[in-house]
Amino acid sequence: MRWVNRHVSRSRSVMMGAIPIVLLVVLYLVIAAERHAANPSDKILPLPGAMVDAMWGLLFVPDQLSGRLLFWADTLASLQRLFLGLGISTLSALLVGLLLGLLPPVRATFGTLVTGIAVIPPIALLPILFIAFGLGETAKVALIVIGIAPFMIRDIAGHVSTLPREQILKAQTLGASTWQLMIRVALPQVLPRLIEAVRLSLGPAWVFLISAEAIAADIGLGYRIFLVRRYLAMDVILPYVAWIALLAAMIDFVLVWTNRKAFPWAHGGRR
């Protein structure tokens, strides 16, 4: 049987998906154990016990300097920046994307500008953001917004402009004004795509968040891993990276689930 025709059942695909992950973990443990056999104070590949010890302090013991539980404070600060950046980007993508996609004069006027901003590498703008907004929260959120909003705007505008011409004409024969077309025809049809765009932007958003935190911050997941790097503290960095991965996966899952529940019409009417 050809491989393209080999369908995998759901339970088996879960099992098969777990295999490479388990293998990687086992490989890590074997190599780490080997290194520790040669050098018991090895810091590069810490054993699980060392990670638990290091994380215990961050999770449950208040920091001597600030009195905060660092792990939770880091998570909260990072998520706040991330969601603020994502939220502003999403709203502006919706608004600007609808206007650009639906109204030819707006597209003619601002289309080039949006494309121009989108091709600038956002990290190159980071110094400008720090100069303009200082080293506080604003610059970090602004970096996320500048990093992902242009892409999302272009995606939404592109999707709106591919709505069948027939639909736009039909709506007009039913008496719809430009405004009514925008809120009743284009807006609802673009929402599933918007959620999809947020999902795709989530990866870049994390990149910009951690970059900004690495350069100038006093709290945050990215700040922490770059701080402890100085002490080769892999026992903190690895759990933090795993935590970031878990957070990203959970946000992605929630977005997929919301998309399916909220827009049954976009998925063949199934709920």
CB of 179 to another protein, least distance (A): 8
Q: Is the dihedral of CA 124, 126, 130, 135 positive or negative?
A: negative
Which lies closer to another protein via its Cβ, residue 121 or residue 269? 269
Cα within 13 Å of Cα(253), Cβ side:
6
Residues in touch with another protein (CB under 8 A): 164, 166-167, 169-177, 179-180, 183-185, 188-189, 263-266, 268-269
Q: Is the dihedral of CA 6, 7, 12, 13 positive or negative?
A: positive
CB of 270 to another protein, least distance (A): 9
Q: How many residues does the chain have?
A: 271
84: closest CA among 127, 154, 144, 130? 144
Which lies closer to another protein via its Cβ, residue 105 or residue 268? 268
Q: Residues 6 or more apart from 74 whose CB is under 8 A from it?
A: 219, 220, 221, 223, 224, 240
Which lies closer to another protein via its Cβ, residue 13 or residue 177? 177
Q: Residues 6 or more apart from 101 whose CB is under 8 A from it?
A: 107, 156, 157, 158, 159, 160, 161, 163, 186, 190
Which lies closer to another protein via its Cβ, residue 82 or residue 185? 185
CB of 90 to another protein, least distance (A): 19
Which lies closer to another protein via its Cβ, residue 67 or residue 269? 269
Helices (H), 216-270: 221-228, 234-262
CB of 228 to another protein, least distance (A): 49
CB of 192 to another protein, least distance (A): 9
